[in-house]
Structure 1
Amino acid sequence: MKNLKCIGIALLLLCLFNCNNEDLSVEEESLQKKENTNDFQRAGLKPIGEGVMMQAFYWDVPGGGNWWNTLDTKMADWSNAGIDAVWLPPVSKAQNGPFSMGYDPFDYFDFGEYNQMGSTETRFGSRTELTNMIKTAHDNGLSVIADIVINHNSGGDSESNAYTGGNTWTDFNPLSGNFNRSSTDFHANNIHSNDTGAFGGFPDLCHHQTYVQDWLWKNPNSVAKYYRDVIGFDGWRFDYVKGFEPWVVKDWKNEVGGFSVGEYWDSNVSTLDWWTGAAEVSAFDFACYYKMKDAFMGNDLAALNDNMLWKQNASKAVTFVANHDTDEIINNKILAYAYILTHEGYPTIFYRDYEEWLNKERLNNLIWIHNNLASGTTTILHADTDEYIAKRNGSGGNGLVVYINNSNSWQERWIETNWSNTVIKDFTGHSGWEPTTQSGKWVKIQAPPKSYSVWSVK
């Protein structure tokens, strides 16, 4: 009997051990599946894309290694204003060391801790300052977007190159000891002579090399996984994606997840739509940018009738008025922000526009309007040289009507809304009218000169 009891206990323990192992395997499988989707998001953060993205830098921000500390002080205010994600410049050590904006990457694993390329810190600060700033962003519910430059590298030593018959600057031995590179990892090499595009004469990475894929996104200690798991990044902005095939971005996103947007600098809507489909991520809406330039710099709001990525595929369109590379919409810039912050797509605000150049109170008001009123599909009600009116039809809410007036005098216009016998008001405060819509949903609204109004249910 004693032996039978011992056998029973042993069987019970064996069952418990196997059951626990099965539960662990299920949990590990679940985590692995989570890791291999684009649904990755840390607990406690605002969903990316429901608010507004802040581009948290501009070209040649102040040097001296204090930028991360500067941004650290902004996170609470940005979150309170309705920002949901912060896009940082490239964070790793580049060839120009303390002077570089990061777009000439040398050591992907040096965040300001190794004395190489002329400095220990990057232009923006130290690794500790970077991770502290990211923690502050997370504490305020903000996701942090990494600027990923994987088309080209810079700063390698000269070496004999069997594929070119001469010497090339392709010998990379970073002090971090991670992702050493040689001529085989660049074009030309044993696989092919080139991919879709090189940039600025820099050594052009070959993403078809398994070694390059492993270090960039596949291995447990890859750039992508280190940035996500150790540094704390939540998403990716891919630089110069014209320089390599869209499957590179797709594979990266499928491996590590996170919100992803590519810089495909092209005004052709069909091309942008093709790329977002092939890469399975978002793209900056350059078609919208150039049409806004025509509208607000060319003083012809009828240009806003033309096609844009957000009109073709709003879920993949990241709209913007300015960025670190291009800032051509100077006149009537606040009108351009009124446009993107009331229309479909995921809008981005440029740091200098928000912090230095434009009226922050007006931008905060537009952010609030975007986050609280701008839902549903878009219907353009009127567009001519000086006036543009559109309505958002609401999705679980009332929607809105935006009236942009580029003329030098107040304008009024009768429009058909989605509301019958309803009091509406201008949520910008630019107009004091509070009209009641007719039973047939028509109402007269107004907008001040060189300005805008945004109407919704009172």
Structure 2
Amino acid sequence: MKKTHFLVSMLVLTIFNACRNNDENDNENPRKLESHTRTVNVTTHDGRPFSTGSGSVSGKFVSGPGGGVLMQGFYWDVPEGGIWWNVVKDKLTAWSDSGIGAVWLPPASKAQNGAYSMGYDPTDYYDFGNFNQNGSVETRFGSRTELEALITKAHAENMQVYADIVINHNSGGQSQANPFTGTNTWTDFSAIASGKFPRSYNDFYKNSYGNNDEGAFGGFPDLCHANPNVQDWLWGRDDSVGKYYKNVMKFDGWRFDYVKGFGPWVVNSWNSNVGGFSVGELWDSNVNTLEWWANNANSSVFDFAAYYKMDEAFDNGNLNVLNDDMMWKRNPYKAVTFVANHDTDIINNKMPAYAYILTHEGYPTIFYRDYEEWLNKEKLNNLIWIHNNKATGTTSILYTDNDEYIARRNGYNGNPGLVVYINNSTSWQERWVETNWSSKQMKDFTGHSSWYPTTQGDKWVKIQCPPNSYSIWSLNQ
């Protein structure tokens, strides 16, 4: 949920809108790294798919050892005019060829601000741009036909599509007398165009079920998940919101907005009844809170703990904080990592951050504007290829100081893994590190270093990293 773009009132709720060359590696006795080696006790390969292609090689997204990569297929205030579904559809082939396996779309149903709304003020969950209500037929993003064509194209590219689900609050209802407040409230959704999930004051707090749940947002009517009618319409009945999105619209998974506003049991119930991938937006940097929610929701969660640590590490010159706890270290199966999204974009030094999430465990997300507009797409495609092909196994942190960070992915099921070296300093750096390979030639798969070092019999090797950059090493095969 965009936290800073809403201006709401109780009457009208409107959204404002050179490489330094060394011919060969120096293989004298390694300088042992004292007490800097630490193994993160996390599980191995998460089983998500990967692409066989690099950024320059075409090929449908196929399953493999490295795990999946998610594209956030929008940003805040994407262009109006009903064009966005077609914009995304036209990019799917290139995204698939680059190794991206899923796309997360903005809230797809008609919202209170009609053709101008980003969708986070939902009115009619079953109007995907096919009913004339709230001032338009199409949503901001396009028509239902265009959305269905996008989803069909994504599936043809062997990509999944995740829907942004906003079920904490609603907007755009009519005024009605509310006996629980003694006033009129904007909670009459009996005349929605689709005729599905009609609501009244007893479907919102406060009501006969209580005064409130975990949290309201922005003055919007707060949907009451304790009401069996709400549960039935959200995930219970055959034409519930969840089952309609999955079985009729063919969405494959869910990004749940503002999950602080309701208990994790809500997402757990949805997942148990509907299925599909799910991730929650729990905006909290406390890893204990993230883990608690993920376990109780039976869902993945965005790794805000890692997000804020990356900002401190890469923008403030303190790579030591990457030793701190994060959700991906607790449970990589339930951690969705990210560098920016439509709500928050605080990391300035983004390429090392992407090198971090695309070489480490968890499910990495790429932000649309970073990929399509702001960063070097060739370098991002290179990192996606490395993630899909090399980023396997548990993680061992080998060395950290303020300016340098080195970690090893230990490989899985015959895949060798990798060693990632991030350097925040203004000069080239070199380190001896312990690999899992004896007497094997390595190379830097980013191309930032021209070294082709051979590991010693005891598996130690010297690697290098350019200033303000990263290198990623694996077997030369």
Scaled by the length of structure 1, the TM-score of the pair is 0.89
1:444 aligns with 2:462: yes
Deviation of 1:154 after TM superposition, in Å, equals: 0.4
- Quick check: 1:56–1:351 contact (8 Å CA) kept in 2? yes
- Say which of 320, 336, 352 aligns to 2:353: 336
Aligned partners of 1:346 and 1:229: how far apart in 2?
Answer: 25
- Say which of 86, 90, 106 aligns to 1:69: 86
1:87 aligns with 2:104: yes
Between structure 1 and structure 2, the one with the greater Rg is 1
Aligned residue identity for 1:334: M
SS of the aligned residue for 2:440 comes to coil
| Pairs within 5 Å for 1:355-370 | 355-370=372-387
Aligned residue identity for 2:343: D
1:321 aligns with 2:336: no
- Quick check: 2:320–2:401 contact (8 Å CA) kept in 1? yes
1:237 aligns with 2:246: no
Aligned partners of 1:159 and 1:359: how far apart in 2?
Answer: 53
Aligned residue identity for 2:201: S
Cα deviation code 1:30-58 (max 9, x no counterpart): xxxxxxxxx9x9xx985699220000000
Deviation of 1:310 after TM superposition, in Å, equals: 0.4
- Quick check: 1:318–1:348 contact (8 Å CA) kept in 2? yes
SS of the aligned residue for 1:159 comes to strand
Aligned partners of 1:105 and 1:115: how far apart in 2?
Answer: 15
Who is 1:373 aligned against? 390
SS of the aligned residue for 1:389 comes to strand
Cα deviation code 1:182-236 (max 9, x no counterpart): 0000000101110001100100000111111111111111111111111110001
1:166 aligns with 2:183: yes
| Pairs within 5 Å for 1:8-407 | 50-172=67-189, 173-330=191-348, 332-396=349-413, 397-407=415-425
Aligned residue identity for 1:128: T
Aligned residue identity for 1:303: V
Alpha-carbon RMSD: 1.5
Q: Percent identity?
A: 68
Aligned partners of 1:256 and 1:45: how far apart in 2?
Answer: 25
Aligned residue identity for 1:213: Q
SS of the aligned residue for 1:191 comes to coil
Deviation of 1:91 after TM superposition, in Å, equals: 0.1
- Quick check: 2:107–2:120 contact (8 Å CA) kept in 1? yes
Scaled by the length of structure 2, the TM-score of the pair is 0.86
Aligned residue identity for 1:94: A
1:408 aligns with 2:426: yes
Aligned partners of 2:101 and 2:67: how far apart in 1?
Answer: 7
Deviation of 1:267 after TM superposition, in Å, equals: 0.3
- Quick check: 2:315–2:347 contact (8 Å CA) kept in 1? yes
Aligned residue identity for 1:251: S
Aligned residue identity for 2:463: I
Deviation of 1:424 after TM superposition, in Å, equals: 0.3
Who is 2:54 aligned against? none
Deviation of 1:296 after TM superposition, in Å, equals: 1.1
SS of the aligned residue for 1:261 comes to strand
Aligned residue identity for 1:280: N
Higher relative contact order (CA 8 A, sep 6+): 2
- Quick check: 1:159–1:169 contact (8 Å CA) kept in 2? yes
Aligned partners of 2:346 and 2:208: how far apart in 1?
Answer: 43
Cα deviation code 1:341-376 (max 9, x no counterpart): 000000000000000000000000000100100000
Aligned partners of 2:386 and 2:409: how far apart in 1?
Answer: 12
User: Runs (4+) of structure 1 moved beyond 6 Å?
Assistant: none
Deviation of 1:256 after TM superposition, in Å, equals: 1.1
How many positions carry a matched residue from both structures? 416
- Quick check: 2:61–2:99 contact (8 Å CA) kept in 1? no
Aligned partners of 1:395 and 1:180: how far apart in 2?
Answer: 50
Cα deviation code 1:364-412 (max 9, x no counterpart): 0000100100000000011111111000000121010000011111111
Pair 367,45 (structure 1): closer, same or farther in 2 beyond 3 Å = closer
Deviation of 1:298 after TM superposition, in Å, equals: 1.2
Aligned partners of 1:321 and 1:311: how far apart in 2?
Answer: 17
Deviation of 1:297 after TM superposition, in Å, equals: 1.4
Cα deviation code 1:240-270 (max 9, x no counterpart): 1110011110010011110011111100001
- Quick check: 2:67–2:387 contact (8 Å CA) kept in 1? no
SS of the aligned residue for 2:233 comes to helix
SS of the aligned residue for 1:231 comes to coil
Aligned partners of 1:46 and 1:183: how far apart in 2?
Answer: 48
Cα deviation code 1:132-173 (max 9, x no counterpart): 011000000000000000000001111100001111110112
